[in-house]
Structure 1
Amino acid sequence: MPEAGRPTYINIRGVPYRAELLEENGRSRVRIYPVTG
């Protein structure tokens, strides 16, 4: 689980993604962005 302010890098089917934790309205959500080289 990623922490706020510290993105976590994960691999999905060999494709790197950056997971970031967002806190909105008291709720925590994880956004996943593809990492483009």
Structure 2
Amino acid sequence: MTIQKIENQIISEFVNFDDWMDKYNYIIELGKSIPLID
């Protein structure tokens, strides 16, 4: 996947959020879904 495609994917995920707090909460939820680093 190219950097441009990754950038467009990220933009498309965040374009639906009007409020910065919604974006912030989305990032937190994404972080909870990844495995912990040992």
Structure 1 length-normalised TM: 0.20
Greater relative CO (CA pairs within 8 A, separation 6+): 1
Work out which of the two has the higher radius of gyration on C-alpha atoms and give 1 or 2.
Answer: 2
Q: Which has the higher strand share?
A: 1
TM-score, normalisation: structure 2:
0.20
